[in-house]
Amino acid sequence: MGLIATFSVKAQSGYNYKEFGWGFDVSYERGYTNITQQNNSPAFNFNLIYNYSPYLPIVAEFQVGKLSGGGPAPSQDPYGRQYVNHYAAFILHADIQLGTMVDYEDSWVLKILKNAYLGTGVGFIASNNVVQRTSIYQPSYVFPGSDKTLDVMVPLRAGYEFKIFDSYNEPFLAIDLMYIHNIAFGEGIDGYDDPSSRFKNNALNQYRQFTIGFKYYFGNVVSYNKLIRAFPQ
């Protein structure tokens, strides 16, 4: 029985993956709002991962960061608006790697590209703003909006995953390089809800992130129907 079990494990070498994982990401981000100048800041997140397959992770993400922009100079904002948003977000998303859709076993090019992915999901961003509410040019005018908001958001994700394998030829670590563009359905990111009849206010609040992520896989071992690790021929 021991010989049969050993043979079974070896026969599956390179096909197995672990069902769960956790990870964390570090991002370099900036906002896209109606404020002229936007600043770059770091953001951080923690992830819980369910691997539907080795090329289709489904992720629950908790993210914190800072978005800011504007200032008293006309080059920073023509109306003197400025904001600092210490936000938190919760997001559910999935990333579909190319390996899910193509037969890569006989192509070295596709074996390299199989870890590239696109993804999206949905979540909520809770904004906590400090905002310049009074116009520095017209002190009697108070900019409308809310300092604390909760908005629905959608991330648009593109990236590449570098899988790291253990002695059983199973992926147990991964490093991800990503570009993420987040769209918020509301006016909460910068805290301003200016009337479009008076100010330029014709786009949804957004922010982008250049991200590096780290993953650790654990849990049940599952077999896939294609070789996950490429071996020299």
Strand partners, 85: 67, 129
Q: Residue 15: its pLDDT value, please?
A: 94
pLDDT the model gives residue 4 = 42
pLDDT of residue 48: 98
What is the per-residue pLDDT for 106?
86
| pLDDT per residue of the chain (233 residues) written in tens, 0 to 9 | 444 444 444 456 789 999 999 999 999 999 999 899 999 999 999 999 999 999 999 999 999 999 999 999 989 998 899 999 999 999 999 999 999 999 998 889 999 999 999 999 999 999 999 999 998 888 888 999 999 999 999 999 999 999 999 999 999 999 999 999 999 998 899 999 877 766 666 678 999 999 999 999 999 999 999 999 876 55
DSSP run (H or E) holding 2: helix 2-11
Which 3 state secondary structure label does DSSP give 22? strand
Query: For the chain, give me the number of helices (H) and strands (E)?
Result: 2, 8
Between the alpha carbon of residue 217 and those of residues 21, 22, 59, 95, 163, the distances in Å are: 4, 7, 13, 16, 11
Specify the pLDDT at position 231. 64
What is the structure's pLDDT at 203? 78
Global pTM reads 0.90
19 contacts 42 by C-beta, under 8 angstroms: no
How many alpha carbons fall within 13 Å on the CB side of residue 153? 32
**Which residue in the block uniquely carries the two structure tokens 């069902």?**
19
Domains of the chain: 17-194+202-220 (2.40.160.20)
User: Which DSSP category does 79 fall into?
Assistant: T
- Residue pair 173/217 in contact by the 8 Å Cβ criterion: yes
